[in-house]
Amino acid sequence: MKNVIVDLEVLSEASTEACETVKVTEASSTGKSRKLYIESYGCQMNFSDSEIVASILHKEGFDTTADLAQADVVFLNTCSIREKAEQTVRNRLQQIQSYKKRKPELLVGVLGCMAERLKTKLLEEEKIVDLVAGPDAYRDLPKLVAQVDDGEKAVNTFLSREETYGDITPVRLDSNGVTAFISIMRGCDNMCSFCVVPYTRGRERSRDPHSIAAEAKDLFEKGFREVTLLGQNVDSYKWSEAENNKARLEKNGSHHVVTFANLLEMVANVHPDLRIRFSTSHPKDITDEVLLTMAAHDNICKYIHLPVQSGNTRILELMNRGYTREWYLQKINRIRELLGPQCAISSDMIAGFCSETEAEHEDTLTLMDAVQYDYAYMFIYSERPGTPAAKKYADDISTEIKTRRLEEIIQKQRDHSLKRNQQDVGTVQRVLIEGDSRRSSTHWQGRTSANRVAVFPKNEVANKGGYVNVFIESCTAGTLIGRIAE
């Protein structure tokens, strides 16, 4: 199976180009007759969803293939967060048309957020699309595939208030055997004016914490050493067990209402050698309870993705973010107070939101100076149909101005990333080895607790999936360079 993760218009770790990661999974062969090929675009949640899709169809008689030419079913798991994301998918569908011409029985489906937003329009606009399924319709895929096999077009974009896929064991795609995603909740109740996610992924609902902890335990027993807990807003995680199961929760020492801080502790207690990361946090919802839980457990990584979007209070209000510039900076100070200055913080920033002035853009730059982010995902504003911003505000900043402002943000972040990495030079960092360096098979690559990539020469002691102490000798804006400490 081929799985492509494309961070469209995303610039991270001071990169000057849009980040595009292509991951290829070896084909699985169990003698089953049909071959499945998936490409995933956008966020980590989409990649996690593709693992659920693969699991559902594997049980229905599908092997996987890394070669699109060998596929019987092709799914594009799509992103709708920006116009460019959708255009990339449309272009890819046109490329797939050549395969469809050679193999008319090839089933082509669009999954995910773009499917949810456009629904049946995709069948009308893209003549080669046979199937459309939204993020909450993946259990229905076997039936939808059968409909297409019977000569019909198939659509299910129903948004659920309950679906979490908590009982489905994902097929780990493109796995390095060391790190894995665990989805803990779905949907979003925040109505940021620029964001399409509440309309494509529905309302928030949280997964049973016992199933999450069990999945983490299973992964650890299979050799994985790091899990990332995923949700559109993990800090909103809240789960209540039915009254008839309340006794079990009390017996296990848990709370009747499980918060994100409670969940973090449950997963941290699976094993001290299992690292825990999480994404994404909303500034208005992250609590001291979460920060104190992070501080209390060495295996909860000291890294928080805390998107600010803008450094100006008026723009933040137009974005409906729920906080001011001053409040956000106080939250940053609280993180530094409870977790120390070495806790890494990353962000999202939007350049050229509706009516943004030069002075308001400067506020974003000065906020960056105040925070000193370790890295960031940076975008120009892209109006999305149906969002409150599209309905209420004019997209009145020219592309040229947006692009120039974005370049200034990128340059600022490049400087900050280098400065933050330089603070680790001369120190010893505990690194989890994830595999070979991308540039040399004679070097390992791994990450520190603060999510900084470290590269260092191999020796006969260290192994993939193991922890090593690395003395950091130098760095770039994106990478720490060192050697295994004696």
Identify the pLDDT of residue 242.
58
Strands 467-475 and 479-484: antiparallel
Q: Distance from first CA to last CA of the chain, Å, rounded?
A: 41
Q: Residues with Cβ < 8 Å from 22, sequence gap 6 or more?
A: 4, 5
163 band by pLDDT with thresholds 50, 70 and 90: very high
**Positive or negative, the Cα torsion across 144, 146, 149, 151?**
negative
What is the overall mean pLDDT for the chain?
90
Identify the pLDDT of residue 294.
98
435 band by pLDDT with thresholds 50, 70 and 90: very high
Identify the pLDDT of residue 461.
84
149 with 70, same domain: the answer is yes
Any domain includes 134: yes
Q: Is the pLDDT of residue 32 over 60?
A: no
Average pLDDT over residues 81-97: 92
* Number of CB atoms found within 10 A of residue 161's CB: 10
Identify the pLDDT of residue 13.
29
Return d(Cα 229, Cα 300) in angstroms, integer: 11
Identify the pLDDT of residue 33.
76
- The residue among 375, 393, 423 that closes a domain is 423
CA atoms within 13 A on the CB side of 37: 17
Quick one: three-class SS letters along 384-441? CCCCHHHHHCCCCCCHHHHHHHHHHHHHHHHHHHHHHHHCCCCCEEEEEEEEECCCCC
- The residue among 156, 185, 208 that closes a domain is 156
Return d(Cα 145, Cα 118) in angstroms, integer: 19
26 band by pLDDT with thresholds 50, 70 and 90: very low
What CATH number is associated with residue 452? 2.40.50.140
What CATH number is associated with residue 282? 3.30.750.210
Any domain includes 308: no
Average pLDDT over residues 334-352: 98
Task: Pick the range with the lowest mean pLDDT from 101-105, 247-251, 392-396, 463-467.
Answer: 247-251
For the chain, give the percent of residues with pLDDT over 70. Answer: 91
184 band by pLDDT with thresholds 50, 70 and 90: very high
120 with 238, same domain: the answer is no
- Residues 297-322 have pLDDT tens digits of 999 999 999 999 999 999 999 999 99
55 with 131, same domain: the answer is yes
Task: Pick the range with the lowest mean pLDDT from 29-33, 229-233, 339-343, 424-428.
Answer: 29-33
61: left (phi over 0), alpha (psi -120 to 50) or beta: left
What CATH number is associated with residue 116? 3.40.50.12160
Identify the pLDDT of residue 29.
52
Any domain includes 169: no
Q: Which domain holds residue 283?
A: 176-301
Average pLDDT over residues 345-364: 98
**Positive or negative, the Cα torsion across 420, 423, 429, 433?**
positive
Q: Is the pLDDT of residue 99 over 50?
A: yes
Q: Is the pLDDT of residue 197 over 70?
A: yes
Q: Is the pLDDT of residue 353 over 90?
A: yes
The number of angstroms, rounded, from the C-alpha of 240 to the middle of its chain's C-alpha atoms is 25
Task: Pick the range with the lowest mean pLDDT from 9-18, 50-59, 382-391, 400-409.
Answer: 9-18
Average pLDDT over residues 136-163: 95
Return d(Cα 1, Cα 24) in angstroms, integer: 7
- The residue among 399, 423, 447 that closes a domain is 423
What CATH number is associated with residue 375? 3.30.750.200
Task: Pick the range with the lowest mean pLDDT from 11-20, 148-157, 189-198, 379-388.
Answer: 11-20
Counting the structural domains of the chain, the total is 4
- Residues 276-292 have pLDDT tens digits of 999 999 999 999 999 99
Average pLDDT over residues 224-244: 88
Residue 300 sits at φ, ψ, to 5 deg, of: -90, 115
Any domain includes 314: no
Task: Pick the range with the lowest mean pLDDT from 43-47, 313-317, 325-329, 434-438.
Answer: 43-47
Any domain includes 462: yes
Predicted TM-score (pTM) of the model is 0.89
Q: Is the pLDDT of residue 5 over 80?
A: no
Q: Is the pLDDT of residue 248 over 90?
A: no
Q: Is the pLDDT of residue 23 over 60?
A: no
242 with 296, same domain: the answer is yes
The number of angstroms, rounded, from the C-alpha of 32 to the middle of its chain's C-alpha atoms is 31
109 with 232, same domain: the answer is no
Q: Is the pLDDT of residue 76 over 60?
A: yes
Q: Is the pLDDT of residue 246 over 90?
A: no
CA atoms within 13 A on the CB side of 128: 24
* Highest-confidence segment of 41-50, 116-125, 366-375: 366-375
Among 384, 374, 382, smallest CA distance to 350 is for: 382
383 with 288, same domain: the answer is no
More confident residue, 313 or 248: 313
